[in-house]
Every structure is written in structure tokens, then in C-alpha cells.
Chains A and B, each alone.
Chain A
């Protein structure tokens, strides 16, 4: 058997109810459940998550604005044949500083068809990257998981840099020294 670092899963997180899921990074894991658990340990150390999704990286159909411009045939869709329609998620990265974020759920027969529909119908402008992948490929945390998996981070305040009042401490020490100097000089 060859030694591997296991397959990769892209990690998408939702920081608050109502906000779109966004791209966090990826984790290596042998299967979807371990990917979800690893994703929580790697990405949810600070309290800002209510939902986590993981999807195998090779299921993501990714196209950049530059590629679309150069290869318009990407939007030419093959005949469906007997392929069933399925739900796909569309993520977009908007602008230079944008993070790939959930844009829409579209039902179609292929990633390419979804991309075509998305390009035609979604209103956002200045899209730098499109991602399309089947909803069925996504392993998700559940609302019940919020307490056990995510809420805990709120209690671990030592990760907050504001807990270390070193700026104030340094200032106090400096003031003390300045006072001593003044006393010695006087």
C-alpha cells in the first residue's frame, strides 16, 4: 500500500446564522466524518462558527474569470442524456479581496450546466472565481453540533490577544523608570 497524507477536503464555514458559508481552507482526512472533525480542530479555535461543511477537493468544478474569458466553450453544455438533475452549490469569489462564498443552490444535470445557469442568472458583478459542486458530496455539521463543536471556543479567552495587558505593563514600567531617573537627577 502506498503511504499518503489522505485525500483533501475543502472546508467551508458559516460564522453566523444567515451569513453565507465561506472558504476557510482544506484538511486532509481519510473520510468525510474525520474531515469534519479535523476541520473543527483546524479552523474553529476561535468563536465564529455555527456551521461547517467539508467537500472532497476533486468534486469542485472551479473556473476563474480569466479562464471563462479565454474558454467560452466552458459554458457550452452537453446534452443531458439520462442524467438525473441534482442540486449543486455555487460559490463565488467577488473582487480582489473577496473570500469564496455561497451564492446559490441550483438544480441541473452537470457542473457545467450549473455554471452556465449561474453566469446567466446570478446578479453579482466582478466575480473572480466560480466553484460548482454537488450538494450530495458535502458533509455538514448539524445544528446540534453547535454546542459541542463550536460554542466552547467562547470560553477560551486566553487566545484573545486583548487578555495580555502587555502594552499597559510596558507603559507602567517606562513611567516608573522615568520617575526614578527624574528622582535621581533631582
Chain B
């Protein structure tokens, strides 16, 4: 009861069909599951996996933007990017917290990330090569994240749902500032337009891959939907995103690196060409352009910070009343 977290999984409870039925009935009624409530071990496991991956993504996501914090070409853009990066750290923080309420510890989660055992969103394994990338990341990557997070805000697990609500409220500004950069560049000088088009060419397909494999190739989706963790499939969200951003980017004079992209009158959807899943899996498995660098940077920060963490703990032990 102490600690406001979920107790470790009691495997003897896992075979209790009545508890499972009650649990599923609660979810069907739209109730939130809170730390302390009974939950299937699989629910707990899936959530810890999803939430910690989400948290890791926010943290690693600070790195490509970190490169451009120092290079932002106006003081206002610098301020905005700093505020955005601060938010992202905060979002990672909310998410680690949600995972902690399920019994995961931050030490374990950080170790898993740094040892290359934990996943994070693939999108951050791509490098930020120009200022225009900041626009692409804001409009596309954060735009995609907003769709996903808006869906997850309805999640059955209380702490995750609350974290999502908090994040959604803050993420809108991230997308808008990205849009602002893209519009400024796309309607600017010829060289700015070229910079923006190049960034879009590089970030478009990886953003579409952010939504995950096609539904037919997604093994986790079934149970996630049954237990109210996800309410839309990967393909549904991806299509929603495509329909939203394609017309807007075309309207400002940008094009897409996709000769097959077209509007289908019958369905009312924008249809893209085939996604290169080979690249997706290559990058997921650690072979992307920045995988090693991103993790190496995080590892270095962690190792360099060891003496700091130890010193602060020592002070608390010796100088603060118990």
C-alpha cells in the first residue's frame, strides 16, 4: 500500500478468470485502472514496455534538437526551441513516472536503454542536417505524435492517460512552431525553399513509419485494443495523419518524395506509395544512421554524471535529517 505503485506481478493471480472478467468489464465501462487495482500481468508488462519506450523516445528526441539549439538562426527561434526541448524532457519525466507507478524503476529503464535492450521511436535515429529539419520535426514528427497521444489519452490506465493529457496540451505548441518554421522557409527565398524541400524529402517516410508496421504485421495490437490501451490501429492513425498534412504541405508549394502519392476520389483519402519496411527494420535493429551516436551520447552523459548523482546522495545522507 505504501508508495502509490502497483505491486510486483503476482503470477498466481494470473489464472483467475473471474478477476480477468471483472477487469475487462471495468475497462468496458470506461473506468480507469489505478495503481493498486488488480490487473493481468500481460497488461502490466505491455504497458511498461509501451510507456518506457515512449519515455525513452522523448529523451533521445532531445538530442537532434539539441544540435540546433546552438545554431538557431534568430533569438526568438532559439527561445522557442529551448522551451520545446525543456518540454520534451518534462514529457519523458511524466512518462517514466507513469511506468514507475507500474513497478518499473528508473534505474532499470535507463540501464535497459543504455545497454541497447530497450527500444525508442525509430524516428530519432535519423540525423538533423539543417535548420529546416527543425521545421520538419515540429510539423511532421510532433504532428504524428499528437495523433498518437490524443488516442492514448483515452487509455484505460490512469497514470498513462493523465500523462498523455498533460503532454497533448503542451505538444500543440511544438507542432505549431514547426509549422511556423516550415511556412517561413517554404515561402521564403529560393535557398530557404530548397533547404525545406530537402528536409521534407528526408523526414517524410520515417515519419510515416513512426505509426508502426501495417496492422497485418503488428502482433501486439490485438491485446492492446482489447484492454483499452490503444483505440485505433497503426494504419488508421497513419492515414489520418497523411490526410491531414499532405494537402497543407502541397498548398505551400512543397512536394513529396513519392511519385505514387495521389488523391483517391472514391475513398476521400490521400494514397501513398509503398513504405520501405526493410529500412524500418534495419533502423529498428540498430543499423540506422544515428543509432550508435544517440546511445553513445546518452551513455556518456550517464557515466559522466555518476559522481554527481553519488555526491548528491551522499549529501542527503549526511546532512539532511532522515
Contacts and interface: CB of A to CB of B under 8 A. Distances in A.
Interface string B81-110: 001001101100110010010000111001
A116 interface: no
A25 B79 CA distance: 26
Contacts of A128: 31-32, 34
Given A30-B312, A42-B90, A170-B183, A63 B162 contact: no
B313 interface: yes
Given A5-B106, A67-B37, A174-B251, A161 B173 contact: yes
A159 B312 CA distance: 32
B313 A1 contact: yes
A58 B322 CA distance: 13
B4 interface: yes
From A4, A63, A67, A166, residue with most partner B Cβ within 10 Å: A166
Contact of A27 (B30, B37, B93): B93
Interface in A98-150: 99, 128-129, 131
A25 B83 contact: no
A91 to B, nearest CB: 10
A31 interface: yes
Interface string A57-97: 11111111011000000100000000000000000010011
A25, A34, A61, A174 — which one has the most chain B CB atoms within 10 A of its CB? A25
A130 B37 CA distance: 12
Contact of A93 (B2, B34, B251, B314): B34
Contacts of B314: 1
B37 A59 contact: no
Nearest to B309: A3
B35 interface: yes
Nearest to A112: B1
A67 B170 CA distance: 34
A160 B169 CA distance: 10
B1 A62 contact: yes
Contacts of A42: 89-90, 93
B93 A6 contact: no
A164 B176 contact: yes
B258 interface: no
Contacts of A99: 162
Given A5-B110, A25-B163, A99-B162, A62 B180 contact: no
Contacts of A164: 173, 176-177, 179-180
Interface string A30-48: 1110100000011101100
The 4 A-B pairs of least Cβ separation, nearest first, read A164-B176, A30-B312, A64-B36, A166-B179
Given A8-B97, A62-B4, 5 more contacts: A99-B162, A128-B31, A161-B173, A169-B180, A173-B252
